Amino acid sequence: MPAAAEAVHGLSATFLSDKPRFHEKAAEFLEFIGDSMLVAHNAGFDFGFVNMELEKCGLDPLGRERMIDTVALARVRHPGAKNSLDALCTRYGIDRSHRTLHGALLDAELLAQVYVELTGGRQIGLHLAVDNAEADLAEPVARIKRDRPLRAARPHAASEEELAAHAQFLDTLKEPLWRT
């Protein structure tokens, strides 16, 4: 193991000496991923290595159509910004304080959180507006809204029975703030 590589991931030749090699686990790996899409940061780089190893085993390479590249997504969403995994974790407030080395499992866990943010999943800031990176989605959404007839708001006032039940509940409270 080259010292420079060990400094990045912390895996020594001694540690790796009793671990299985790729060809011993390739079939198990392919069974595990099935026909799923695969999310990776700088996916072309990772697919290149995986496909080289699969071909060495006499197996078909993974098709690029299965690749979801978070670097490519980040470049569209944040053009001109730094889009390393660390930078994206910082941008999205994802805790990476426990990351001291480049480890596959920890990086995959961080990337899963980054992917959710890149695809607009968490919405912690209630940013419901469409930003420039999603402009290609804005026109279809606007067209759907224009094509629908305006519908009046439904009444949502409490019934007399609900108001009485609420008043009865309030009577059970000791000195509520809103009654002073």
Contact 69, 46 (CB under 8 A): no
Annotated catalytic residue 9: no
Spatial CA neighbour of 133 closest among 123, 145, 113, 118: 118
Contact 84, 111 (CB under 8 A): no
Determine the Cα–Cα distance for residues 158 and 167; give it in Å rounded to an integer. 12
Determine the Cα–Cα distance for residues 29 and 180; give it in Å rounded to an integer. 67
| Dihedral sign, Cα of residue 91, residue 93, residue 99, residue 102 | negative
Q: Which tokens in the block code for residue 36?
A: 């799923």
Quote the Cα angle for 30-35-36, to 5°.
100
Question: One-letter amino acid identity for 87?
Answer: A
Active-site hit among 23, 41, 98, 102: 102
Cα-based distances in Å from 101 to 5, 11, 49: 11, 10, 20
For the annotated catalytic residues, the residue numbers are 102
